[in-house]
A = this chain, B = another copy of it.
Amino acid sequence: MVTKAKRAQRRTDALSKERIIETAIEILDAEGESALTFRALAARLTTGSGAIYWHVANKDDLLAAAASDVIARVVTDVSDGTEPREAVRRIALGVYDAIEAHPWVGTQLSREPWQFAVLRIFEAVGRQLQALGVPEPAQFDCASALVNYVLGLAGHRAAAARLLAPDTDRTAFLTAAAARWAQLDPGQYPFMRQVAVQLPGHDDREQFLAGIDLILSGIGEKLR
């Protein structure tokens, strides 16, 4: 006989898209992109690997949903009433920090064309541009510029995280990269060699924000 308690228990244990996504995020966060397999996921959910396909179309679908989940938390958080430029900065930094915390989201964002996670960012940014008074025909271009910039960095940070052994520290990594750049052929790579000096001391997050401000300043020019 199935008691009420048992049914409640069942409902919690029952497989669902939400529970699958949640568990997928746990695995991705704890063990990285390569650890997410349907077998690992099924083991963690104490079910068969085929069962997952009842709730999720395939692995791409699962990853897209997981990324969309993480981004939704970040993007919704922008409080109203803030100055539009500042709001754009916050959205961008929110995405940046989310990728820092979940590098696999970066991979996902830069692989997705017009999936939900990206739409969410696009929408949030676009609204701020409207608030800023950007004329309608230019809004699409401006939003696209901001979003593409964010996604470019997303992919980049994710790639860096993939390379970085989990225990290496950042400064050591940057110093190593700088050393490699400093050894490039001076005839072919004068700029990289010059920049190499700045690399170890530079702050990724601030550089990211500097790029946002550059684009915002370009947008500001359009408003005059």
Contact with B along A168-207 (1 / 0, CB 8 A): 0000000001000100100011111011001000100001
A117 to B153, alpha carbons, bound, how many Å?
Answer: 16
Asked if A38 CB lies within 8 Å of chain B CBs, one says no
State which of B113, B147, B159, B222 has its C-beta within 8 Å of the C-beta of A159. B113
* Known contacts A110-B110, A155-B151; is-contact A141 B210 (Cβ 8 Å): yes
> Would you call B177 and A114 a contact (CB within 8 A)?
yes
Secondary structure class of chain A's binding surface, majority of residues? helix
Q: Is the CB of A145 within 8 A of B215?
A: yes
Q: How would residues 128 to 139 of chain A score, 1 for a CB under 8 Å from any chain B CB and 0 otherwise?
A: 001000001101
Number of residues in A with C-beta < 8 Å to the partner? 60
- Specify which chain B residues have a CB less than 8 angstroms from the CB of A214 in the assembled complex: 141-142, 145, 215, 218-219, 222
- A140–B191 Cα distance when bound, in Å, is 9
Whether A152 contacts B147 in the complex (CB less than 8 A), given A114-B177, A127-B191, comes out as yes
Say yes or no for A47: interface residue by CB 8 A criterion. no
**Complex CA–CA separation, A49 to B58 (angstroms):** 29
- Residues of chain B lying within 8 A (CB to CB) of residue A110: 110-111, 151-152, 155-156, 159
Query: Considering only CB atoms, which chain B residue lies closest to A137 in the complex?
Result: B198
